[in-house]
Structure 1
């Protein structure tokens, strides 16, 4: 599976380009998906706790919601940590799945 260029963002780390996209995943979480931009290789999928999609439903009562938004700096951290944990973005393989706890990537 390739991440669409139309619905994703590009990020460069070192000399390598990656594509990333964030999508909702049920109540209270988002999924960050990352893939190397030049290779149809292994994906990483990161579950991130966030109530950001509930904002529109609960507005203006949002004080108790976790309003985590995934920023490019978060994506950089995730990519580097995933590679430290064995992600090989240029090789084919099953997607690696993680949870993001603070700034720590935890295998699922």
Structure 2
């Protein structure tokens, strides 16, 4: 399992632990990914809806677009919620996947 790139990720301190995180764009939604720094453990993936990376056909008419961006305080909230939901960033395994809705993460059902 690969760790997040130092070049493309940001670091945030939570309860004296360092976590790396990044947002990966996708069409119509973005994916927030986080892991504990220097640990090859389980990651979290949090999907959220945004129009920021969509093809801007209506530009400059963007008033109806969802221009949601993720800020460091959002990253902190997401990581804390995932930890409270049982995420153990030191355990190996496939990522735990969530959706982010109105500031709350909701675990996706396994298919």
How many Å separate the matches in 1 of 2:11 and 2:55? 26
TM, length-normalised to structure 1: 0.93
Give 5+ residue unaligned stretches, structure 2.
none
Give 5+ residue unaligned stretches, structure 1.
none
How many Å separate the matches in 2 of 1:44 and 1:84? 13
Tell me how far 1:57 sits from its aligned partner. 4.5
Q: Does 1:41 align with 2:41?
A: yes
Alignment of 1:90-101 (within 5 A): 90-101=90-101
Deviations 1:63-86 (A, max 9, x none): 110000000000000000001111
What's 1:15 paired with?
16
Which portions of structure 1, spanning 4 or more consecutive aligned residues, are displaced by more than 3 angstroms? 55-58
What's 2:71 paired with?
71
Tell me how far 1:58 sits from its aligned partner. 3.3
Contact 1:52 1:66 in 2 (8 A): yes
Deviations 1:10-38 (A, max 9, x none): 11111100000101122x20000001002
The number of aligned residues is 107
Tell me how far 1:54 sits from its aligned partner. 2.8
TM, length-normalised to structure 2: 0.91
